[in-house]
Amino acid sequence: MDLRNRTLGEFIIENQSSFKYSTGELSKLINAIRLAAKVVNHEVNKAGLVDILGASGDINVQGEGQQKLDVLANEKFIQTLKNREIVCGIASEEEEGFITINSNDKNHQNKYVVLIDPLDGSSNIDVNVSVGTIFSIYRRITPVGTPVTMEDFLQPGINQVAAGYIIYGTSTMLVYTTGDGVNGFTLNPAIGTFYLSHPDMKFPETGRIYSINEGNYVHFPQGVKNYIKYCQKEEDDRPYTSRYIGSLVSDFHRNMIKGGIYMYPKSSIASNGKLRLLYECNPVAFLAEQANGKATDGHGRILEIKPSELHQRVPFFCGSKKMVDKVMEFIAEQ
């Protein structure tokens, strides 16, 4: 059987036994995310035709201006997850605190919490450049049947049971892992079905692409500056190619396929970096490690960081193993 003929629904059912908590709940949860992704994809594809471009006029908890599609994507994912009644809590990059589901129902036996960045790279919306959604799934720590607490969300990334992203680009793809490799599914818009298009995705051991906002070069630590100069030097297989979209999902997706490294270091204008540990770094790091890649804050493994707050930011280096190891060498020297 051609693997690429398999739908996402069929793939989830066929591989449910490989998941150590195979009760069917996780499958329903992935299916809920699939449904919300199709709804958001439909709205993204209407941008420019209806009034969903531009800023909403609101400021989110990060102190950043929200785009209209930020708000819409946030509402659609939260609404879909709530309606399916399969999670006990949700945390979103767009919300100040977490959302408790059915906290007064003692028969509520749901075991999973979801953390989500509803629309990554939303500053690219108005110029028709790829954006995405990132999600992360954990089993709750507190007793089933009780309201979730902050403890359920502030778990290290190694506790993730699933993570993934949806990229809304030239085609719409859902890429995810449950700890048994990474697989990508492409949406057939004619019939609204995701098909397995990228089975067992892997980072090449090394690559020739580095992704970083070089406009902030003067603010970077010296070790990162030295690595950028290394990438630009004419020697061996270098210089490397600089490619930076400004959407983590898009940059990561390209680098995973072609080989490369994504970097968002700390700087003199962002002492902890800019990316959020729980909504961006942990799920992307989980995917990277499952795809033969590596993710670090420049000193240690991203997935071993114990979060201290819901919207915590950390420096982030992620991609092909040899490239991540090399930038860590430069950082260590300084």
pLDDT of res. 109 = 81
pLDDT of res. 52 = 46
First to last CA, the chain: 53
pLDDT of res. 56 = 44
pLDDT of res. 301 = 98
Same fold, 3-198 and 209-333: no
pLDDT of res. 107 = 64
110 is in an annotated binding site: no
329 is in an annotated binding site: no
pTM for the model: 0.92
122 is in an annotated binding site: yes
268 is in an annotated binding site: no
CATH architecture of 209-333: 3-Layer(aba) Sandwich (3.40)
154 is in an annotated binding site: no
14 is in an annotated binding site: no
DSSP 96-154: SS-EESSTT-TT----EEEEEEEEETGGGGGGT--EEEEEEEEE-SSPTTS---HHHHS
CATH homologous superfamily for the domain 3-198 = Fructose-1,6-Bisphosphatase, subunit A, domain 1 (3.30.540.10)
235 is in an annotated binding site: no
pLDDT of res. 166 = 97
279 is in an annotated binding site: no
Say if residue 233 is exposed, middle or buried (CB neighbours under 10 Å; 0-12, 13-18, 19+): exposed
Residue 225 CA to residue 54 CA, distance in Å, equals: 34
Show me where the domains of the chain are located: 3-198, 209-333
Over the chain (334 residues), what is each successive 10-residue block's mean pLDDT?
77 77 77 92 68 50 66 91 89 94 70 94 78 96 92 98 94 95 95 95 98 97 98 95 95 98 97 96 98 97 98 98 98 94
For the stretch 86-109, pLDDT in tens is 899 999 999 999 999 875 555 678
136 is in an annotated binding site: no
117 is in an annotated binding site: yes
**Tokens 């990060």 -> residue:** 62
119 is in an annotated binding site: yes
